[in-house]
Each structure stands twice: as C-alpha cells, then as structure tokens.
C-alpha cells in the first residue's frame, strides 16, 4: 500500500480559505489538494474527524429515514414473494467479510449499511442493518471473518447478484484508512451509494436450505491514491465471494533463516496462484488470486494463513518485497520460494517454507 507523505511547494496559491500544497506519494506522482486551516498533523486528527462527522450527521439521518422506507418496502416484497411459500420452505442467508491484507496500514475501516439481493425475477430487495456497522478489516484476516448477516430469511430461488452497501463519501471519515505513521484519509467509492461491494455472479437459495458466504475484500488491490484536488483515497473494490460450505484454508510456518537475505525487509507476504498460472506481481497480467502477510506469532515463529479458498490445486509463492508491489503498475518482484499444494473443502492444509 502506498504510504503518503506531504511536501509543500514554494509560494502556494492562496484562495482565502486555505492554500494549496502537493502530496508526493512514495515518488509515484504528485497530488493536489486544498489544505484545511486545521493542519493534518497527528495531534489534530481527532478534531478533524469530529468536524467531518458533524457535517455528515444530517446526511446520515436522511439516509436512514430512506432506509426505514426501504426496509418496509423490502418486508412487503418478501411477504408478497413468500405468500404461497410455507415458512419452513424459506431460505436462510448468511454473509461475513474478511480481508486480504496490505502493507503500511494500521486500520482499514469500512462502514456497512445494508445487504441487497437481486432475484432473477423481480426488483432488488434491500435488507438494512439495524444501524451502520464500522468494521476494521485488518482485524479479520486469514481464516477469520466478521459476520454481517446470519440466518436472514429470504425467498428461495435464483439470484443474479448481491451487494453490500457502504458509506464511503468524499471528505467524510465514515470509511477510512489509517497508516502506521498516524495519517488518516477518507475512503471514497465514486458509485458507493448505489453499488458498494458488489458480486456479479448468480447463486441459488434452496427452499428449506441455507446460503453461507464470505466476501473477501483485497485491500492492497482495492485502495488507490487520488490524482486530483482531494485527499480522499479511492476504494475500487476487488473482491472474492466463496461458499463457506465448500472452502478450505492454507496455513504454515516460514523458517527465519529464509528471511535473513539482503532482499528481505519487514514486508513479507505469501501470494496465491492457480497451479498452472505464471507467478508474478499484483499489477501484472498474471497477478495473484489473494495474498497474506507473514507475521511473527506468539510462539516466535513466522506464520501465515491463506483463508477461504475453493478446493483445487494452487501454488504459493513467498516474497519479501510486497511493500514495493503496487496494484496500478507492473513491478519487478522477487519470489524466494514457490510450492504446489492441494486445498480440500473443510480442511486447513499445512504448508511450511
């Protein structure tokens, strides 16, 4: 993940409200934004957050009044769709979220508001949460997930897509990223009000059965710095959705001696590829399906977990240069070792390096 640093240019242009400065993001481009009179240093981040949240309060009240109307409409639609369906034949729907991690971030918080399902026949149905729920995805990595909906009653049948709706507005810290240096920036989805985190693949909700999904948001590939006059970061969701009844995990230990080479720093990661895929960086045409950070566990071992994987044959590649791997460009990343492995549903397969 790109870690921003700020560099003021000589004689910035004044506009009466503040002045313009430039952001140099790890040497990969300049970014203009209008500096608020409250300087964005760590000591005033909380004050800035309060100001932005206050600005968003009335907007959120309006959103949730609309949400109440949507909820009543959704209940009416369910009632109509299920009028001839005995309660014991309705389907149960569950979904949680997890994260493929990123470098240099201390927190990646997404504020979820609702679930939307599109039946094959009929309009989308929205199921709002009782209240917006903010989740730091960095707390749910590997085989861990945060449950958003559990056992939700829905009409059985075919569905075309699902969407997790989120609050991700410009200049509002509803969804945001915090870097290890303390800087906080809002996350902005250009079409967040209508799309959110959308999975455009169909599924079937069986009568008197259940659907249990996990949505994996790849934070490293999803977050991008802006190139115009704003200090928001753009969230372009790169997601996987898997059926929890058909998934397995990979977990293992990396020998410390393997990480002592001159090319190794603090950013050690595992990249997952299909068995016949060329091993390459994220920005290439043959990027990984998902990634996992290698961290020291409580026993003092360097460990990792690649979670929520469909059954099949894969290859796992170890790199010490993931901090230099950017999603918007093809980088020259060195991989220390690669191994083949088979994932079986319902099992955690051990793979050590």
Instruction: Kindly state whether residues 27 and 93 are assigned to the same domain.
Output: no
- State pLDDT tens for residues 229-267: 567 899 989 999 999 989 999 999 999 999 987 767 678
Looking at 186, 218, 244, the residue that finishes a domain is: 244
Say how many domains are in the chain. Answer: 3
Nearest CA-CA partner of 3 in 138, 145, 253, 185: 185
346 and 252: one domain?
A: yes
Q: Find where tokens 């917006």 sit.
A: 132
Question: Which pLDDT value is given to residue 100?
Answer: 81
Select the more confidently predicted residue: 324 or 280. 280
Domain extent, residue 14, equals 5-35
Are the beta carbons of 102 and 137 closer than 8 angstroms?
no
Are residues 171 and 59 part of one domain? yes
Decide if pLDDT at 3 tops 60: no
Same domain, 83 and 107: yes
| 113 and 214 housed in the same domain | yes
- Same-domain status, 14 and 118: no
Give yes or no for residue 200 having a pLDDT over 90: yes
Q: Is the pLDDT of residue 89 over 60?
A: yes
Q: For residue 273, give the CATH number of its domain.
A: 2.60.40.1120
* Domain end among 191, 211, 244: 244
In which residue are the tokens 């240093």 written?
A: 41
Q: Are residues 205 and 327 in the same domain?
A: no
270 and 140: one domain?
A: no
Task: Average the pLDDT over 220-226 and give the result.
Answer: 84
| Tokens (6 digits) for 60 | 């959120």
Question: How would you class 61 by CB atoms within 10 Å of its CB: exposed for 0-12, middle for 13-18, buried for 19 or more?
Answer: exposed
Q: Which residues contact 283 (CB under 8 A, 6 or more apart)?
A: 325, 326, 327, 328, 329, 330, 331
pLDDT above 90 as % of the chain: 52
Residue 265 and residue 174 share a domain: no
Residue carrying the six token digits 């997404």 = 110
What is the mean predicted confidence (pLDDT) over 44-70?
Answer: 52
Nearest residue to 219 (alpha-carbon basis) of 96, 97, 98, 102? 102
Q: How far apart are the first and last CA of the chain?
A: 25
- Under DSSP, the state recorded for 88 is G
DSSP class per residue in 308-323: EE-SEEEEEEEES-GG
């Amino acid at each position: 993940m790109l870690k921003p640093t700020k560099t003021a240019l000589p004689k910035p242009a004044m506009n009466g409200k503040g002045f313009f400065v430039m952001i140099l993001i790890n040497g990969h481009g300049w970014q203009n934004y209008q500096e608020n009179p409250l300087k964005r240093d760590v000591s005033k981040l909380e004050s800035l957050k309060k100001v932005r949240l206050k600005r968003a309060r009335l907007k959120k009240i309006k959103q949730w009044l609309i949400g109440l109307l949507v909820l009543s409409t959704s209940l009416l639609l369910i009632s109509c769709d299920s009028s001839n369906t005995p309660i014991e034949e309705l389907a149960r729907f569950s979904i949680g979220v997890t994260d493929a991690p990123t470098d240099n971030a201390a927190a990646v918080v997404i504020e979820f508001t609702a679930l939307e399902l599109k039946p094959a026949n009929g309009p989308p149905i929205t199921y709002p949460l009782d209240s917006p729920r903010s989740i730091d995805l960095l707390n749910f990595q590997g085989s861990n997930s945060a449950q958003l909906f559990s056992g939700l009653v829905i009409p059985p049948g075919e569905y075309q897509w699902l969407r997790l709706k989120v609050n991700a507005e410009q200049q509002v810290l509803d969804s945001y990223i915090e870097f290890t240096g303390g800087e906080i920036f809002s996350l902005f989805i250009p079409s967040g009000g209508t799309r959110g985190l959308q999975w455009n693949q169909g599924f079937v909700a069986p009568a008197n059965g259940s659907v249990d999904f996990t949505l994996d948001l790849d934070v490293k590939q999803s977050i991008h710095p802006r190139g115009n006059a704003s200090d928001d970061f753009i969230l372009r969701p790169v997601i996987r959705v898997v059926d929890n009844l058909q998934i397995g995990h990979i977990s293992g230990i990396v020998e410390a001696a393997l990480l002592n080479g001159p090319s190794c720093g603090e950013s050690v990661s595992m990249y997952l590829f299909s068995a016949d895929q060329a091993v390459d960086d994220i920005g290439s045409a043959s990027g990984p399906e998902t990634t996992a950070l290698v961290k020291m566990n409580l026993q003092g071992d360097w460990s990792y977990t690649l979670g929520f994987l469909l059954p099949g044959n894969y290859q796992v590649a170890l790199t010490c240069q993931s901090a230099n791997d950017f999603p918007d460009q093809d980088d020259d990343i060195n991989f220390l070792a690669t191994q083949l492995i088979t994932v079986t549903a319902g099992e955690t397969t051990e793979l050590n390096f």
